[in-house]
Amino acid sequence: MTTTENPTEITADHTAEGELLGTEAAAAAAKIVPQMDLSEAIEVAIRKAVNNQLAAKAKVVADGVLVELLTDEVLAGMRETAILEATAAIDPVPTVQPEPEPELEPEPEPAAEEEEPAPQLRFENARQFVDVYVSEVYAREVIVRGSEQRLRWCPQWWEHAEVMARMEVLWRAFEHLRQGKGAEPSEFWLLHLDPHMSRILDPEGPFKYCSVAGGHAEKLQPLPTGDNAPAATFPSGYYERPSGLFVRETAPSKAAKVPTSWEFP
């Protein structure tokens, strides 16, 4: 006996099965879909597709531009450049070193101005100046007896402080003025030697009690001075340097010796 199935029952079964499968698919999709951001995925896919399209179009454009730029002249120049580079790589041209520049000789330094040497003294000291110069160029008759009435001279002239001081400055004036090339010698005689010698040889001068025949006589006394002058009358410290004039440090005596050398201050 053949069993006949009811179509209504079959359809209901398929429907139930489909509903079951749909429910499972929906459940699976519900698990996957929340894990993806569909809008982001779509955006990425679209951007990628657009970039691919743009890259393709850019390549086509670039190829066209390159074809237009690669003219026969450009290709010939590129070929020539390639040949030159290949030749230089195979057979390089030796580098020529530049010749060194000649060294410049240092400029000579300007010659320093030579200082004029200090003039040498003609006479070593006042004693030599009197013995060699004054006694010769200013010779006077002082030996004959009776001549002391007109002129007086003491062979020991250095025992007289005034004469020693005068001869000292005369010697200094002579050494200074003798270097001149003009009227300095005349100036020495008129302004220095004559005035001093007139005072020295004066019968009433420093040699009043001396003579060549009688020798040195220590009779002249120093000028008297008072000892009660107020100290404020003569303030000290006026001069910045010692005077160049000769000043006897001790009282004159017959035993006094003449220095062997006198120097300018």
121 exposure class (CB count in 10 Å sphere: 0-12, 13-18, 19+): middle
Q: How far apart are CA 62 and CA 49, in angstroms?
A: 20
In angstroms, the first-to-last Cα distance of the chain is 172
Q: How far apart are CA 177 and CA 188, in angstroms?
A: 7
pLDDT digits (tens, 9 = 90+) for 106-163: 777 777 777 777 778 999 999 999 999 999 999 999 999 888 899 999 999 999 999 9
Show the CA angle centred on residue 135, arms to residues 129 and 140, nearest 5°.
150
Beta bridge partners of 111: none
The number of helix segments (H) and strand segments (E) in the chain equals: 8, 0
Percentage, residues of the chain above pLDDT 70: 71
pLDDT digits (tens, 9 = 90+) for 171-189: 999 999 998 889 999 999 9
Distances in whole angstroms, Cα of residue 234 to Cα of each of 71, 220, 226, 237, 243 = 115, 27, 14, 10, 17
pLDDT digits (tens, 9 = 90+) for 54-76: 777 777 777 776 777 777 787 78
Percentage, residues of the chain above pLDDT 90: 33
DSSP-derived 3-state class of residue 211 = strand
129 exposure class (CB count in 10 Å sphere: 0-12, 13-18, 19+): buried
Q: Please count the other Cβ atoms lying within 10 Å of the Cβ belonging to residue 156.
A: 17
